[in-house]
Amino acid sequence: MKLSIITATYNAVENLPKLIESLRNQEDKDFEWVVADGASTDGTLELLQSITDLNIKISSQEDFGIYDALNRAIKISNGEFYLVVGADDYFYTNAIRDYKSEIYDSVDILTATINCGEKKISAKNRGKSWIFGMNDYVSSHAVGCVYRKKLHENFGWYSRKFPIVADQLFTLKAIHGGANVKVINKEVGFYNDSGVSSIDVVGTISELYRVQLTLGRNKLMQTLLLFLRIFKNFKKIK
């Protein structure tokens, strides 16, 4: 198995149909879909278990949030590479085909363009990860990135210490540690930016700050950026 699609769910029965439809409509259907569910009670499991036309694997148990669920799903996946997608995200029909066509032995991370609301998001590639974090190298952890599974052997799993932005820490550790990133000039899907990272603005900003310090960035500069981000997003803070 070359590619596994990874999704964490919890009471997501209303969001899943569009994602399921997008997986069914893929031009390349040679993939597995691994769903780590957090013991949903709203019909999510029943919906997933009713699917017979996709190569789906389901694990349902209580967990410690999205990254704990993702870790569980990745560990039971069969793909050499994996691609995270949220329950409220979806792929364009070309996504799996275009990703798989760019998988080579020398590539560790693939990243493509995604749509988020009215915006198109691609890797910035400005050499300023101390400002933009992982988004200097990749478009988005979900929908916009394919990761070589073996990267976790060298750089660890998604950390429980960062419940909102553990993807930032893992991706930056891998890239700074030598992981080879390939940018694909294709649009692959839609990312719904309505999760906890958008709702908990202060939490997200503070975790991004902690990630940069964990990576050894200049504390004075990062502290200044922290206050600038809080000021910039002041109206969004609840």
Residues constituting the chain? 238
Domain 3-193: assigned CATH number: 3.90.550.10
pTM of the predicted model, to two decimals? 0.94
Please report, in tens digits, the pLDDT of each residue of the chain (238 residues total).
799 999 999 999 999 999 999 999 999 999 999 999 999 999 999 999 999 999 999 999 999 999 999 999 999 999 999 999 999 999 999 999 999 999 999 999 999 999 998 899 999 888 899 999 999 999 999 999 999 999 999 999 999 999 999 999 999 999 999 999 999 999 999 999 876 555 788 999 999 999 999 999 999 999 999 999 998 887 666 5
The neighbour count for residue 100, using CB atoms within 10 Å, is 17
Structure confidence at residue 195 (pLDDT)? 60
In 3D space, the residue among 25, 32, 30, 28 whose CA is nearest the CA of residue 7 turns out to be: 32
Domain ranges of the chain: 3-193, 200-238
Distance from CA of residue 51 to its chain's centroid? 23
Task: Note whether 132 and 138 are within 8 A (CB).
Answer: no
Structure confidence at residue 41 (pLDDT)? 96
Q: What is the largest CA-CA distance in the chain?
A: 54
